[in-house]
């Protein structure tokens, strides 16, 4: 019995000595290298560790220095200067499930995960300290630098570092989340069944700041509970349409409340400065939207989009399932003022302006304004109605060399106007009056030109068209059919007017000089794509003293 006792005691001492030797060897570079080689040779992973440390003052923790770990044949997924592994009782049944894993100063890169192979390590808590993270294939792609924070629990899945059921809190020097880049980021939230909840987000964004909270479901729909952007200074190489395209590419985005203060945004052909915006209860689905009681209030110092430049624009909208109520729109534009209010109806896609006022404009028409007038309106705008129109002291200029014109101190008023229908501009109904102090049409000067017209489904009737020129006056009446042929019937009478008054407007020259009396009867077609001159038929009679000249035009050609 004594022999057996001594033998067991000796065996126990040898076993303890072996454990001590192994314990000591594992904490040497040779031991760390041997462990690295064994795991690399006998598993589907590769491991590199320069040193393994353990301290009896903290017996449940092992420290691994210069740690690198990943799938065979793939770049490392985790590279860290130091890894702290906290052991747990669960490791008797699941050796790779730790209580805590703390990563110091390295990179965690899910892009290097092998396809369809899950990450083997788990932890009740993952702690990060000055780590970089890259997870481009997760349900919500993101990357971040110098991350400090934690994930509870940490159960990563294929291509997804955070797993599918975890709470997280982290700060990062830089972060790119679903294409949005921020600095000095603080983010708190959780993920469950591919649904992300961001209970608190704060970041420096585009030299400004952002705070908010939001949710994203498994289908990619966003619900933003609150979002506040302050002092944003953003420059982009995208056009305005391309800049907004990512929002329209989402399945949907709902905004409970969004506030933007003192923002400046600039693209290659657009810009907005000193923008203040408040948006409530608004859902965007592709190019469509929904809202029940939402609103938009915004103002800015300047808004530029191509040739359009608005100064001090103010816009207040109210949203409902039926459409949009424009409670206020006003802006300084081309040195004048524009003001409007009205509504847009979803059912018939009609924009109705209860009031439209233009005052003090100095507007030069674009070179292609005639082509724009003929182009169909977008699908969301079928018709445009103006209940009350007024214009005061406006200057309108067309520099088209074929037929330039200018109207100075142009005033106008109109009522019950239908300015577009079936996606096509026109004057389809209502009454309209204009008068100006002076005007020039293709180098012919007029004083106090005035026009009054009414329109219905069948025709536009010019009930008054008059102006002073030279020492006399011209008066005219006209009708224009609303049919596609746009048949025009016009009569013009002039008293004490230059005999060649109509020459600059396309009529052949006459042999008389000086002031005369004239009468013109003309029929033509203003159909789209058809030159006016080729359809013109009419007779011009001019009397001066005892002389009389009569000219007949047929299909634009003077008859002998």
For residue 342, with 0-12 CB atoms within 10 Å meaning exposed, 13-18 middle and 19 or more buried, which class applies? Answer: buried
Q: What is the mean pLDDT of residues 34-45?
A: 78
Helices 2-26 and 29-42, interaxial angle, to 10°? 90
**131 phi/psi in degrees, rounded to 5:** -105, 155
Write out the DSSP string of 5-61: HHHHHHHHHHHHHHHHHHHHHHTSHHHHHHHHHHHHHHSSEEEE-SEEEE-TTSTTE
Q: What is the pLDDT of residue 176?
A: 86
476 or 134: which leads in pLDDT: 476
Please give the Cα distance from 162 to 221 (Å, whole number): 20
Asked if 141 and 169 count as a contact pair (C-beta separation under 8 A), the reply is no
For residue 115, with 0-12 CB atoms within 10 Å meaning exposed, 13-18 middle and 19 or more buried, which class applies? Answer: exposed
Whether the per-residue pLDDT at 26 is higher than 90: the answer is no
Q: How confident is the model at residue 12 (pLDDT cuts 50, 70, 90)?
A: low
The residues pairing with 121 across neighbouring beta strands, listed in sequence order, are none
Best CA proximity match to 517, nearest among 490, 489, 550: 550
Q: What is the pLDDT of residue 16?
A: 52
Please give the Cα distance from 393 to 389 (Å, whole number): 14
Please give the Cα distance from 73 to 279 (Å, whole number): 51
Output the CA–CA distances (angstroms, integers) from residue 481 to 369, 417, 432, 450, in the order listed: 22, 17, 17, 21
For the stretch 90-100, pLDDT in tens is: 777 787 888 99
Q: In this predicted structure, which of 129-143, 220-234, 519-533 has the lowest mean pLDDT? A: 129-143
Q: What is the DSSP letter of 89?
A: G
**204 phi/psi in degrees, rounded to 5:** -85, 125
Whether the per-residue pLDDT at 23 is higher than 80: the answer is no
Please give the Cα distance from 398 to 217 (Å, whole number): 54
Please give the Cα distance from 400 to 457 (Å, whole number): 31
Q: What is the pLDDT of residue 469?
A: 92
């Amino acid at each position: 019995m004594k022999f057996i006792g001594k033998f067991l005691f000796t065996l126990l001492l040898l076993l303890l000595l072996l454990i001590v030797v192994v314990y000591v060897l594992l904490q040497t570079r040779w031991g760390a290298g041997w462990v690295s080689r064994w795991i690399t040779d006998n598993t589907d992973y590769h491991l590199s560790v320069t040193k393994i440390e353990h301290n009896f003052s903290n017996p449940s923790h092992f420290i691994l220095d210069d740690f690198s770990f990943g799938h065979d044949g793939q770049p490392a997924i985790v590279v860290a200067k130091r890894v702290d592994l906290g052991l747990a009782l669960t490791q008797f049944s699941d050796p790779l499930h730790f209580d805590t894993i703390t990563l110091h100063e390295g990179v965690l890169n899910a892009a290097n995960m092998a396809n369809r192979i899950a990450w083997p390590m788990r932890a009740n808590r993952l702690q990060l300290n000055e780590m970089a993270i890259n997870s481009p294939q997760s349900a919500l792609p993101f990357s971040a630098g110098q991350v400090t924070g934690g994930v509870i629990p940490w159960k990563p899945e294929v291509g997804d570092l955070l797993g599918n059921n975890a709470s997280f809190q982290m700060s990062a020097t830089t972060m790119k989340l679903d294409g949005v880049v921020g600095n000095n980021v603080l983010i708190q939230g959780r993920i469950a069944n591919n649904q992300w909840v961001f209970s608190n987000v704060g970041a420096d964004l585009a030299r400004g700041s952002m705070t908010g909270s939001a949710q994203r479901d498994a289908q990619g729909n966003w619900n933003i509970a609150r979002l506040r952007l302050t002092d944003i200074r953003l420059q982009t190489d995208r056009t305005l349409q391309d800049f907004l395209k990512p929002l329209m590419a989402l399945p949907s985005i709902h905004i409970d409340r969004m506030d933007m203060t003192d923002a400046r945004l600039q693209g290659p052909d657009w810009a907005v400065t000193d923008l203040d915006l408040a948006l409530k209860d608004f859902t965007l689905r592709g190019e469509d939207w929904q809202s029940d009681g939402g609103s938009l209030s915004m103002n800015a110092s300047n808004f530029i989009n191509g040739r359009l430049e608005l100064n001090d624009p103010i816009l207040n909208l109210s949203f409902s399932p039926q459409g949009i109520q424009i409670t206020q729109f006003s802006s300084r534009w081309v040195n004048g003022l524009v003001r409007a209010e009205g509504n847009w109806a979803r059912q018939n896609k009609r924009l109705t302006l209860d009031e439209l006022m233009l005052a003090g404009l100095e507007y030069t028409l674009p070179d292609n304004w005639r082509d724009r007038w003929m182009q169909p309106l977008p699908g969301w705008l079928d018709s445009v109605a103006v209940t009350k129109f007024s214009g005061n002291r406006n200057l309108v200029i067309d520099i088209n060399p074929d037929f330039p014109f200018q109207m100075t101190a142009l005033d106008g008023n109109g009522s019950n106007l239908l300015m577009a229908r079936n996606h096509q501009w026109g004057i389809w109904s209502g009454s309209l009056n204009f008068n100006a102090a002076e005007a020039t049409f293709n180098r012919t000067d007029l004083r106090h030109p005035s026009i009054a017209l009414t329109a219905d489904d069948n025709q536009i009737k010019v009930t008054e068209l008059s102006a002073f020129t030279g020492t006399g006056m011209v008066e005219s009446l006209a009708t224009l059919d609303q049919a596609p042929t746009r048949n025009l019937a016009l009569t013009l009478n002039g008293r004490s007017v230059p005999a060649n008054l109509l020459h600059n407007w396309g009529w052949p020259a006459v042999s008389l000089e000086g002031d005369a009396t004239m009468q013109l009867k003309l029929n033509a077609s203003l159909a789209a794509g058809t030159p006016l001159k080729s359809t013109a038929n009419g007779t011009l009679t001019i009397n001066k003293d005892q002389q009389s000249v009569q000219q007949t035009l047929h299909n634009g050609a003077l008859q002998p």
